[in-house]
């Protein structure tokens, strides 16, 4: 199998269009079509069905594509391994993270990483959790800084450098129930019955986020239907709304700020997720990629437990490659 030809066919599958695939590959549509016809002639069967401006794999095409992806994986892993053997500190790391929290994390750890590996470049994709999983599955990135719950684990991914984090509830200081929080709620996170807020407006997470599912589970556990002002994918927006004495909202505990004009509670059933780095199973990770993962975990630990002794951080079982 010719690797250039393989990448052409994979591009057609991804774009579902010869014209769009040709644009991505920087070749003419005619040239790409000729490559496909040539390959189909060699194999003796069609690889794609042409359906109303859409290219869909035939059964033979699906078999070819599955093995083509394996071939590309072998090539990529081989080059990565050779880079490690020769101790080359060059290359590219493709990584996905969220546009808000993830970008803040990356800006904090990049200087230290760049000092160690000044010749390593990055290809970055910003997306929400579900979008990152899709990008990882499509092999658009090697690493994804994602979050997961026990029910949202993808069996095709390996999750490493996990740090468990609770979703907490924020209330304005002027809220009638705020005194129940005490003086240091940012540290103690007292428990509050969520049903007590049946008359309080909420700003909730958008349906494209994992936190949306966690919030719905908490509301269902409390047996309440919240009054929702609007949905947002931004925890910063939620915090600003709480600070303006407009609503209650859930957000990850790493956003707790003891100086903010709000109080903090935990609620049953104590919704938690694990922030982690995910990659596709059987992917070889280079030494620089493993170093980056360790830096991300250290950052997540400091962010999730800023006011607590790290000895009390809940242990997370992680699967790592041996360096």
User: What pLDDT, on a 0 to 100 scale, did the predictor assign at position 4?
Assistant: 82
Please give the distance of CA 138 from its chain centroid, rounded to a whole number: 13
Q: What is the CATH number of the domain that holds 244?
A: 3.40.190.10
User: What pLDDT, on a 0 to 100 scale, did the predictor assign at position 313?
Assistant: 42
Domain that holds residue 217: 166-270
User: What pLDDT, on a 0 to 100 scale, did the predictor assign at position 321?
Assistant: 39
Distances (CA, A) of 120 to 75, 77, 177, 204: 19, 17, 51, 39
User: What pLDDT, on a 0 to 100 scale, did the predictor assign at position 282?
Assistant: 87
Alpha-carbon distance of 21 to 28, in angstroms, equals 9
Report pTM.
Answer: 0.70
User: What pLDDT, on a 0 to 100 scale, did the predictor assign at position 83?
Assistant: 73
User: What pLDDT, on a 0 to 100 scale, did the predictor assign at position 50?
Assistant: 86
**Total of domains in the chain:** 3
User: Within this chain, do residues 256 and 221 fall inside the same structural domain, yes or no?
Assistant: yes
Extract the tokens encoding 1: 């199998």
User: What pLDDT, on a 0 to 100 scale, did the predictor assign at position 306?
Assistant: 60
User: Within this chain, do residues 303 and 239 fall inside the same structural domain, yes or no?
Assistant: no
User: What pLDDT, on a 0 to 100 scale, did the predictor assign at position 290?
Assistant: 94
In a domain, 323, yes or no: no
**Mean pLDDT, contiguous 10-residue spans, the chain (323 residues):** 85 91 90 91 91 88 90 83 74 93 94 94 93 92 92 91 91 97 94 96 92 94 96 94 97 92 96 93 91 93 62 40 35
Which of 81, 102, 128 marks a domain boundary? 81
User: Within this chain, do residues 111 and 156 fall inside the same structural domain, yes or no?
Assistant: yes
Please give the distance of CA 235 from its chain centroid, rounded to a whole number: 15
> What is the C-alpha R_g of the chain?
24
């Amino acid at each position: 199998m010719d690797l250039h030809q393989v990448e052409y066919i994979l591009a057609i599958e991804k774009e579902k269009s010869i014209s769009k695939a040709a644009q991505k590959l920087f070749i003419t549509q005619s040239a790409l079509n000729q490559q496909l016809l040539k390959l189909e002639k060699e194999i003796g069967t069609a690889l794609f069905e042409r359906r109303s401006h859409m290219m869909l794999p035939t059964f033979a095409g699906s078999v070819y594509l599955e093995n083509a992806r394996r071939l590309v994986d072998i090539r990529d892993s081989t080059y990565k391994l050779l880079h490690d053997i020769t101790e080359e500190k060059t290359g590219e790391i493709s990584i996905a993270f969220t546009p808000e929290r993830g970008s803040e994390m990356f800006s904090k750890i990049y200087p230290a990483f760049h000092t160690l590996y000044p010749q390593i470049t990055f290809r970055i994709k910003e997306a929400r959790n579900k979008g990152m999983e899709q990008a990882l599955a499509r092999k658009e990135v090697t690493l994804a800084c994602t979050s997961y719950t026990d029910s949202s684990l993808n069996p095709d991914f390996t999750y490493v450098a996990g740090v468990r984090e609770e979703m907490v509830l924020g209330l304005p200081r002027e809220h009638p129930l705020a005194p129940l929080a005490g003086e240091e709620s940012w540290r103690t996170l007292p428990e509050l019955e969520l049903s007590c807020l049946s008359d309080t407006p909420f700003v909730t997470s958008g349906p494209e986020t994992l936190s949306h599912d966690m919030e719905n589970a908490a509301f269902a556990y409390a047996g309440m239907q919240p009054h929702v002002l609007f949905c947002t994918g931004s925890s910063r927006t939620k915090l600003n709304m709480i600070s303006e004495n407009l609503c209650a909202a859930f957000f990850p505990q790493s956003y707790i700020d003891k100086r903010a004009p709000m109080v903090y509670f935990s609620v049953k059933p104590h919704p938690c997720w694990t922030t982690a780095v995910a990659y596709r199973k059987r992917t070889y990770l280079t030494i620089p990629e493993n170093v980056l993962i360790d830096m991300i975990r250290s950052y997540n630990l400091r962010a999730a437990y800023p006011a607590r002794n790290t000895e009390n951080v809940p242990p997370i079982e992680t699967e790592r490659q041996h360096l």
